[in-house]
Amino acid sequence: MSNGIVYLVGAGPGDPSLITLRGVECLRKADVVVYDYLANELLLNHAPQSAERIYAGKIGGRHNQGQDEINNVLVEKGREGKVVVRLKGGDSFVFGRGGEECEALRDAGIPFEVVPGVTAAVGASAYAGIPLTHRDITASVAFVTGQEGNEKNESNIDWERLSLGGGTVVFYMGVTNLRRNMARMMEHGRSPQTPVALIRWATTPRQQVLVGTLADIANLAEECGLKPPAVTIVGEVVSLREKLQWFNQRTLCGKKIIVTRAAEQAGEFSDKLAARGATVLECPTISLVEPDSWQLLDLAIRDLSGYDWLVLTSGNAVRYFFNRLKSLGLDARALAGCRICAVGPKTADEIRQFGIKPDLVPRDYKAEGIVEVFSRLDLRNSRVLYPRADKARDIIPRELQRLGAHLDSPVAYRNIVPERLPPETLFALEKRSVDCITFTSSSTVQNLAAMLGEELMLDMLKGVVVASIGPITSKSCRELGLKVDIEPAEHSLDAMTEALETHFK
Ligand code: SAH
C-alpha cells in the first residue's frame, strides 16, 4: 500500500490570504502541486521548495481534452505514493470540475480529500459590498454558468424560474455571453431596470466593478472593454453597494508604490501600504551581508565587560551583533556590566526581543540626537562600543570621541548594492505605471542611482511621486536631481504612510 493522497484544495478567489488554514496545511506537506490559472501563484510559496509544481494549463492544451490528462496526472502521482495538492481557483466543487477529478480518483482507488475554498461569487460579493441575500430584499441566490447552451442547442437552465423567481443570480464565465444572457433574463420577465454588477479580478488589487442594469450592462462592458475573469451579479441587492462598498474606498487603493528598503526590512512598510489598498512593488536597493572579517567585532565581544556603553543604532546592528554573540557561544549575560543605548523605539524593541531593556533611548533618532543625549552625560574616559555598518556616517564616533570617550566601532555588517532591480519593478517603471517611489534612507536613493545610472533613474522616475522619510534622505534625493514631493514631519514609517494617504486623498 502506498501513502499517496490527493487533496483538492480551493485556493479562494484571488487574494492569497483567502485560502483556508486547512488548505495551507495541505500545501505545506505537498510533494506535488497541480495548480490552475486562477489560483494565485503566491500560494505556491506555502509548498516546500522541493515540491514539484505542475501548471495544469500546460497539461494538454485545450480545456476539455485537458481534463482527462489532468485526471491522469493526479492518479499517477497518487499511485506513486505522493502527497498531491490539486489547487483550484475559488472552490473545487463550484464550476471547478472537482467532481470529475474525484470520480477519476475513486475509480482508480486513490484516496482523496476535498478542502473548500471561497468561491468567486462569495469573494466578489464581499469585496464589492454587495450582499447576495438580504432580509428585506431577497432570500435566495443562484450560481449559474454563463456558458450554458454554447455547444448544445438546448440550455439546461430554466430561464423562466431564474428570471421570475426574484432571487439574486450570479453568472460565472459570463463575460463573452453577457449580452445574450442579460437578454434572456429580460425576455423571461425580469425587469430591464434590475441592477447588475460586473466584478472583474475580484478580491485582488486589480479588482474592477462596473454597475448598470439588465438593459445597459452589456453596452457598458463593451465600452470599457471589460474582459474575463468576472462574475455578474444580477438583482436588487446590487444597489446596496453604494452604501456598503469599502474595498475601492481605501486610501491608497489602486496606487502602485515602490518600496526600496532592504528585503529584510521591507515587509513592515509594505504591509502598511498594502493594508490601505496599494499595490506594493518591492525593490531592495540594499542587501545586508557579513563583514569581510569578524576579527574586530569578535575582539570587542570577548571583551564586553571592559565597556561602559554599547550603542546600537538600527535593528540590523542589533541582529548582527546578537547573532555574533551567539555564534561565539555567549548570551545576554555577557552584557551584564555594560549600559545600552538604543537609537529609536524600533531599535529598542529589537533589543527587548533579546531579553534586554535598553538604558537609554534618545527620542530623536538621527545621529545628532544621540550625540545630544550623550553630551549631557560624563563620557570622559569611558569605553564605548559602537558596532556599525561599513558605510555609516562617522558623526557618532567623532562626536563621542570629542566628549572624551574611548570608542571602538567594529563593522558588524555591510550594506551592498544589489546588481539589478526585480524584473516586475523594472517592467512597471518602463511601462510608466508606477505612482510613487518611497525612499527611507539616503542609501536607498543613492543605491538606486547606482543600480540604474543617474540619468536613467531620473528618466524612469519622471511623473512618479517621490516620498522621502526625512530631511537627510530628501537632501540626497535633491543632490541626484530628484524633486521630493512628500516628506513627513516625523521620521517614521507610520508618519510616512500617513503622508502618502494625505497626498493621494
Ligand atoms: N471554481 C471557481 C470557478 C471557476 S470558473 C470558483 O469557485 O470561483 C471560472 C470563472 O470564475 C470565471 O470565468 C469567473 O466568472 C469566475 N472567477 C474566478 N475568479 C474570479 C475573480 N477573482 N473575479 C471574478 N470572477 C472570478
Number of structural domains (the chain) is 4
Domain boundary among 414, 431, 460: 414
Res 499: pLDDT: 97
Diameter over CA atoms, the chain: 95
Position 65 pLDDT exceeds 60 = no
Res 313: pLDDT: 87
Residues having CB within 6 Å of any atom of ligand 1: 13-14, 38, 88-91, 94-96, 119-120, 124, 172-173, 199-203, 228-231
Q: Domain check: are 276 and 424 in the same one?
A: yes
φ, ψ (nearest 5 deg) of residue 44: -65, -20
d(CA 116, CA 364): 51
Which residue range(s) make up the domain with 131? 122-249
Closest atom, ligand 1, to C-alpha of 146: 15
Interval 404-432: pLDDT, tens: 999 999 999 998 899 889 988 999 999 99
CATH number at residue 156: 3.30.950.10
d(CA 307, CA 255): 49
Share above pLDDT 90 across residues of the chain, in percent, rounded to a whole number? 75
Q: Domain check: are 426 and 280 in the same one?
A: yes
d(CA 499, CA 467): 9
φ, ψ (nearest 5 deg) of residue 117: -135, 165
Distance 229 CA to ligand 1 centre (A): 6
Res 190: pLDDT: 96
Q: Domain check: are 128 and 237 in the same one?
A: yes
Q: Domain check: are 22 and 96 in the same one?
A: yes
Q: Domain check: are 318 and 398 in the same one?
A: yes
Distance 77 CA to ligand 1 centre (A): 27
pLDDT mean over 173-197 = 96
Position 197 pLDDT exceeds 70 = yes
Least confident of 6-10, 48-52, 147-151, 178-182: 147-151
Atom 11 in ligand 1: residue holding the nearest Cα: 172
Closest atom, ligand 1, to C-alpha of 88: 1
Distance 35 CA to ligand 1 centre (A): 14
CATH number at residue 471: 3.40.50.10090
Q: Is there a contact between 91 and 10 (Cβ–Cβ < 8 Å)?
A: yes
Q: Domain check: are 241 and 213 in the same one?
A: yes
Angle between helices 367-374 and 395-402 (to 10 degrees): 10
Q: Domain check: are 322 and 355 in the same one?
A: yes
Atom 6 in ligand 1: residue holding the nearest Cα: 90
Q: Domain check: are 371 and 432 in the same one?
A: no
Q: Which residues are catalytic?
A: 36, 58, 173
Q: Domain check: are 26 and 110 in the same one?
A: yes
